[in-house]
Amino acid sequence: MANSGLQLLGFLLSLIGLAATAAATFMVEWKKQSHGKSHRIHEGLWMTCSGHERTTCEYHHSLLKLPTELQVTRAVIVLSMFLSTLAVLVSTVGMKCTHFMDARPESKSRTAMSGGIMFLVAGLLTIIVTSWYVRMIVKSFHEAHRLESIEFGKAVFVSLAGGVLTMVGGVFLSCRRCSRSEVSESISGNHLFTSTSQKSNYV
C-alpha cells in the first residue's frame, strides 16, 4: 500500500509539473525589456506585449524572424509537454491503483517505470532549455546599451518549478524496487503457501 501511495504521489507531482510547464509556456513574461523609464516590452514564447501606459500584444507570426533562443526554447518546451502527456497515459496503465494489466504484474510495473522515465526526461528537458534561455538573457544584458534594461521574467521561475516537479514525480514512478516489492512479496507468499501445503500432505 505504501508503494502504491508513493506512485500516486509521484504521478500527482508530475501532473502539477506538467500544468506549471504549460502555464509558463503561455505566459508573456519570459523576458522583460525597458527603454528609458516608461516604455516596457514583455516577450513570451508566442507573443510580445509593449507600450507605455497602454499595453498592446502581438503574436509572433513569422517563425524565421524569431531569435534563435526563442525558437529553441519553444520547440523543446512543446516536446517536453508532449512527452509528459504521453507519460500520463503510460503511467495510468502501470500504476498499482488502477486495474489495467492486473493479470500481468511484472509488465504492469515495467509500464509504470517507463512512464516515470518519460516524466524524468521531460522535466530534464524543461530545466535544461529554461536554464539555457536564462543564460542567453544574461548574455544579452551584458551586451545591451546602458539605457536599455533586459532581464528574465516570472515565466522562467514557473518553468523551472514545473521541470523540477516533473522530474521528482518521475523519480518516484520509475523506482523499480518500489514497483516490484509487492509483486515479489506476492510471489514469495504463494511459494511459501505452496511449500506448506506440500509438507502438510505428508503428515
pLDDT in tens, 139-153: 876 665 565 667 778
The 10 Å Cβ neighbour count of residue 24 is 25
pLDDT for 166: 94
Per-residue confidence (pLDDT) for residue 136, from 0 to 100:
84
Return the pLDDT at 82.
95
Domains, the chain, with CATH or none: 2-28+67-148+155-189 (1.20.140.150)
Query: CB of 154 within 8 A of CB of 27?
Result: yes
Residue that has been written with the C-alpha cell 500481468 in this structure: 104
Confidence of residue 176 (pLDDT cuts 50, 70, 90): low
Query: Which grid coordinates are listed for 94?
Result: 502501470
Q: Which three cell numbers stand for residue 109?
A: 510495473
The pLDDT confidence band at residue 104, using thresholds 50, 70 and 90, is confident
Q: How far apart are CA 107 and CA 96, in angstroms?
A: 12
Q: How far apart are CA 184 and CA 135, in angstroms?
A: 47
- HEC string for 13-58: HHHHHHHHHHHHHHCCCCEEEEECCCEEEEECCCEEEEECCCEEEE
- Between 4-8, 74-78, 113-117, 161-165, the lowest mean confidence (pLDDT) is in 4-8
Close Cβ partners of 172 (under 8 Å, ≥ 6 residues apart): 6, 7, 9, 10, 11, 13, 116, 178
Decide if pLDDT at 189 tops 70: no
Q: What are phi and psi of 43, to 5 degrees?
A: -110, 125
| Helices 68-94 and 105-143: angle between axes, nearest 10 degrees | 160
The pLDDT assigned to 190 comes to 44
For the whole model, what pTM was predicted?
A: 0.77
Question: For the sheet containing 39-43, what is the strand order?
Answer: 55-59, 47-51, 39-43, 31-35, 148-152
27-38 average pLDDT score: 76
